[in-house]
Structure 1
């Protein structure tokens, strides 16, 4: 993905995207659902969408999962 494309994704507001603030507030709940084998994306589609689009939140989520799997 080019820098221009990433910048465009960053600047584009997508109504299906929960955004960083809401994603961060639900990330621990989302992670617990994932670890329990539940369909977290179906329950929180906006968070799932955001985690796919936001590299920073995606990295935070990966770190949280790693820590919880400890």
Structure 2
């Protein structure tokens, strides 16, 4: 992703985005729901919105899912 793409994503942040702090505090719960086959996005829409728009948190989330799935 280019710097311009990252800036564009940042400038068009979803208004329902919960931010990094909220996402990090709930990420483990969100991941457990996903791995259990439940609709985590419906329960935590602000976390889902943030994960869709924040590359850094998205990478942390992907790593957490991988670790929990083992």
Gaps of 5+ in 2: none
Aligned to 1:20: 20
Runs of 4+ in 1 over 3 A off after TM superposition: 11-14
Total equivalences in the alignment? 70
Query: Scaled by the length of structure 2, what TM-score is found?
Result: 0.88
Matches within 5 A, 1:1-70: 2-12=2-12, 14-70=14-70
Gaps of 5+ in 1: none
Cα RMSD for the two superposed structures: 1.5
Deviation, 1:3, is: 2.3
Confirm or deny: 8 A CA contact 2:14 2:49 kept in the other structure. Answer: no
Distance in 2, matches of 1:21 and 1:28, equals 13
Query: Scaled by the length of structure 1, what TM-score is found?
Result: 0.88
